[in-house]
Structure 1
Amino acid sequence: MISTPLWFLLVGGLLLFMALTNSRLKSLPVTSAIIYLAVGLVVGPTVLNVFHFNPLKQSALLEVLTEVAVLISLFSAGVKMPAPIVFKRWRTPVLLATVSMAASVGLVAAFAYYLLEMPLGACVLLGAIVAPTDPVLATDVQIRHPGDQDELRFALTCEAGMNDGSAFPFVMLGMGLLGLHEIGETGVRWVLVDVLWATLAGIAVGVVSGTLLARLTWKIRGEQKGRELMDDFLGLGLIGVVYGICVLIDAWGFLAVFFAAVALHQTELKLAGLVRKVPEAAPVVTRPEVLAEPPALVSEGSLVFKEHLERLSEVLLILLVGGMLFVDSWSWRAVGFAAFLFVVVRPLSVLLGMVGSGASWRMRGLIGWFGVRGIGSLYYLMYVIQHGLPEALSLQLIQLTLVVVTLSILAHGASVKPMMNVFWRRKHRD
């Protein structure tokens, strides 16, 4: 086991390397997650074996770490949503987070049931674990700042913000089929409580909380709108309060945090008079940067700090992923499942979710490919392990999930820059 001083040297040296080579790495077809994973694989059981992280024994710790990372990433994604909210624009990501989510879970469950010969409940759990796209690792295809109006990045960011919450009902269904959660006769309780109540209550808590905080801080700051408030603490406080309320009332906290961030940013923009209508055109946002005295916005003031926390969590968790993998983790069974997920499940589910959207086939193809799996999948895996999943099933799901996450980091990370560059060149030419 790696000692504490060596941990400091490893993480510190990696951070220095990334900081000093950042400009050069941007020109290479690799992401930061690929580098972290490579380091984790080298020091982990795969190569040097000086470090091993056991996800089964350390599931409680890993659940907390991944939970915090996802919450911070969801908040960051929410405050970058462009204003105002228009149903026509939100229709696609909503369908991706619902219709495509359900299709993904169903296809994965069928594959696991007939080809991997797993129990039905475990098959549904596997589908729920690997179906959500990741808000932490997909930064290269997400909205870059609150004024970014690109439709492709918007769809991927918004989908990742919602489907980490929309996957939870399927997690509960899988646990219920294994006798680990009460879903009621014929699944009535699951529909009423885990689907309808938990989803609607989570969205409501998030919207109300974000709106109230925006109005409260706007009133406290007064006419001068100076930055006398601690925006970082306000953002973290909103995450904690909203998530805590949802846990107490059995609502989906991931959905709540995302919509709290959206409501906070949208309300602040409206209060600041930054959202206006252009005749015979779509609503646009007048950015604070062009104003003589830009107003202080909690959502944008806390964003930089949240993105730094997101990067640090990415370093730690991807290193741990490398420390969980052994050479014998790479079975044809696991690799074949990952290929089926990337090449069949994701593209097909996206096509179903985007029927009638009017999006170009080029855009549908990119969305169908960039379904990055990562920290969110690890959280759901640790969640079900902590809630009594039998050890034999836990080991199977751990192996499949780790291979999916690793191959997603490699395949999607290596292809994102070349494919996005081609997309932008063709878009500008058109």
Structure 2
Amino acid sequence: MTGGPLVYFVLGLSLLLAIVLPQLTQRIALSPPMVLVAVGMAVGMLPAADMVSLDPTDHRDLVTHVTEFTVIISLMGVGLAIERTLDLRSWRSWRTWSPVWRLLAVTMPLTILGVAVLGWWVAGLAPAVALLLGAVLAPTDPVLASDVQVGEPLTEDVDERSEEERESPDEDDDIRFSLTAEAGLNDGLAFPFVHLALLLIAGGFTLADVGTWIGWYVVGKIVLGTAVGIAIGWLLGRQAFHSRSDNLRLADHGEPLLALAALLTAYGAAELVGGYGFLAVFACAMRVRASERGHSYQRAMHGVVERLERLMTLLVLLVLGMAMTRGLLDHLDWRGIAVALALVLVIRPLVGYASLAVLARDEDREGGLDRGEMWAVAFFGVRGIGSLYYLGYAVSHEQVPDEPWLWSTVAFTVIASVLLHGVTATPAMARLDARRGKTSAQG
């Protein structure tokens, strides 16, 4: 017997859970990812699971492509959901994104450095491998962080929603906005450090190559990816909302599959010219959103992307849970546990808070956070599927020392983040929402 029946079973279970779980876990401190990992662990203990190898070293390309597709779907979703505009010509608009720039320019590099130092000092990794571990674990995840991100886009048909939905404070508050935009951007901005680690592992990287790395991997590929995404988003947005041909004005026909066409086109085009595809997808989504911000078609596109993202996420988490009981954590030791817990409980919260608190923007202005909100943004840096993708990408391109240990450590970090942030997100965000609502009422 082959593993085909198990594959169908997992796919069917994923679809069923995609429908049921959001309703069951809506008002309890138990996130769908937590349930999915637990269900996956139970499935992995079934005798039928022996028919399929779940060792990631046996399926590097498959792991890379499945997680890659999941991340780009999520990036399209968060790009369409963000309400706050970013006018590249307006300094005032840039200032409203202040928490995001701090998280990207300060928190992420310091997180990479902190994890790399621990990987070298505590885990005894070679410096290049330690840097790779830092680059893999530093980005926050747009896939698993739905509890602390903005919801669906606000459009002209918003009044058709219930009173409770209309009064919900989570649409575009600074906490959710900051975490959403950070997750949308840092999955692409971590790539230069992954490439640097791979160049160091391959050998032959000298001081003379630093200029090339900065010029191409840091600047060139970021600019290319962003430019391609903006251009494709502008073209598709203009066609969908403002085309002179009625047949091409897809917004009038309500065909939401344009979102999938946009994310695939932007990602593929950016990668073909050498840019970062993740940045291209996020930039494309934001540009499509800006084409006609209040149109109900935005919600239709977001709905399609959200459903596909949910299905892919559930599938990945189920398989991750199965793999945990089939040997994925066999190489985990105290060093990996120490690195994971230090990242989630110490490094990210401390450097995140420091980056937001130093010369902070006035909390009464858009883009400003008070002390409690800063701690919330610093703490809820969820690790997830993006980290699995980056490790899969790295080991598919170079022979990386300590690969089994890296897989076990990264998987444990993701699980630790899913559990810790999953338990705390709902009550913490509810408390912050209540405090913000009370403050608004008093004001």
TM-score, normalised relative to structure 2: 0.85
Aligned to 1:72: 73
Give the superposition deviation at 1:84: 2.9
Relative to structure 1, the CA distance from residue 212 to residue 372 in structure 2 (aligned partners, 3 Å threshold; closer, same or farther) is: same
* Aligned mates of 2:377, 2:193 — CA distance in 1: 22
- SS where residue 292 of structure 2 aligns? helix
Amino acid at match of 2:397: H
> Is residue 2:351 matched to residue 1:322?
no
Further displaced range: 187-196 or 74-83: 74-83
Q: Deviations over 1:199-228 (max 9, x none)?
A: 112111111221121112223266897745
Give the superposition deviation at 1:381: 0.5
* Aligned mates of 1:252, 1:379 — CA distance in 2: 14
> Is residue 2:344 matched to residue 1:342?
yes
Further displaced range: 30-39 or 315-324: 315-324
Q: Is the 2:222–2:276 Cα contact (8 Å) retained in structure 1?
A: yes
Relative to structure 1, the CA distance from residue 49 to residue 336 in structure 2 (aligned partners, 3 Å threshold; closer, same or farther) is: farther
Aligned to 2:360: 357
Q: Is the 2:241–2:291 Cα contact (8 Å) retained in structure 1?
A: no
Give the superposition deviation at 1:122: 0.5
Q: Deviations over 1:299-343 (max 9, x none)?
A: 433111100000001111011211222364542222111110012
Q: Is the 1:183–1:190 Cα contact (8 Å) retained in structure 2?
A: no
Give the superposition deviation at 1:243: 1.3
Give the superposition deviation at 1:368: 1.4
Provide the aligned C-alpha RMSD in A: 2.5
* Aligned mates of 1:20, 1:345 — CA distance in 2: 35
Further displaced range: 250-259 or 320-329: 320-329
* Aligned mates of 1:151, 1:4 — CA distance in 2: 46
* Aligned mates of 1:403, 1:35 — CA distance in 2: 16
Amino acid at match of 1:335: I
Aligned to 1:41: 41
2:195 to 149, 172, 175: 172
The size of the alignment, in residue pairs, is 404
Relative to structure 1, the CA distance from residue 131 to residue 314 in structure 2 (aligned partners, 3 Å threshold; closer, same or farther) is: same
For structure 2, the residue ranges without an aligned partner over 5 or more in a row are: 87-92, 155-170, 362-368
Relative to structure 1, the CA distance from residue 401 to residue 22 in structure 2 (aligned partners, 3 Å threshold; closer, same or farther) is: closer
Give the superposition deviation at 1:264: 1.0
> Is residue 2:434 matched to residue 1:411?
no
Give the superposition deviation at 1:172: 0.6
Q: Is the 2:117–2:130 Cα contact (8 Å) retained in structure 1?
A: yes
Q: Is the 1:44–1:52 Cα contact (8 Å) retained in structure 2?
A: no
Q: Deviations over 1:133-155 (max 9, x none)?
A: 00000011111022322111100
**Identity in percent:** 31
1:382 to 392, 400, 411: 392
Aligned to 1:192: 215
Q: Deviations over 1:175-201 (max 9, x none)?
A: 111126968725111000000111112
Aligned to 1:126: 133
* Aligned mates of 1:226, 1:70 — CA distance in 2: 25
Q: Is the 2:29–2:423 Cα contact (8 Å) retained in structure 1?
A: yes
Q: Is the 2:140–2:382 Cα contact (8 Å) retained in structure 1?
A: yes
For structure 1, the residue ranges without an aligned partner over 5 or more in a row are: 270-287, 289-294
- SS where residue 58 of structure 2 aligns? coil
> Is residue 2:403 matched to residue 1:394?
yes
* Aligned mates of 1:77, 1:396 — CA distance in 2: 32
- SS where residue 133 of structure 1 aligns? coil
- For residues 27-426 of structure 1, the aligned pairs below 5 Å read 27-44=27-44, 50=50, 52-85=53-86, 86-147=93-154, 148-179=171-202, 185-220=208-243, 227-229=251-253, 231-269=255-293, 288=294, 295=295, 297=297, 299-325=298-324, 326=327, 328-354=330-356, 355-358=358-361, 359-390=369-400, 392-426=401-435
Aligned to 1:16: 16
Give the superposition deviation at 1:89: 1.6
Q: Deviations over 1:45-68 (max 9, x none)?
A: 699964651111101011110111
Q: Is the 2:18–2:311 Cα contact (8 Å) retained in structure 1?
A: no
Q: Deviations over 1:76-109 (max 9, x none)?
A: 0001111432212212112212221111101111
- SS where residue 302 of structure 1 aligns? helix
Q: Is the 1:162–1:255 Cα contact (8 Å) retained in structure 2?
A: yes
Give the superposition deviation at 1:244: 1.6
- SS where residue 56 of structure 1 aligns? helix
Q: Is the 1:347–1:368 Cα contact (8 Å) retained in structure 2?
A: yes
Relative to structure 1, the CA distance from residue 150 to residue 15 in structure 2 (aligned partners, 3 Å threshold; closer, same or farther) is: same
Give the superposition deviation at 1:400: 1.0
Q: Is the 2:332–2:409 Cα contact (8 Å) retained in structure 1?
A: no
- SS where residue 146 of structure 1 aligns? coil
- SS where residue 275 of structure 2 aligns? coil
- SS where residue 420 of structure 2 aligns? helix
TM-score, normalised relative to structure 1: 0.87
Relative to structure 1, the CA distance from residue 178 to residue 95 in structure 2 (aligned partners, 3 Å threshold; closer, same or farther) is: same
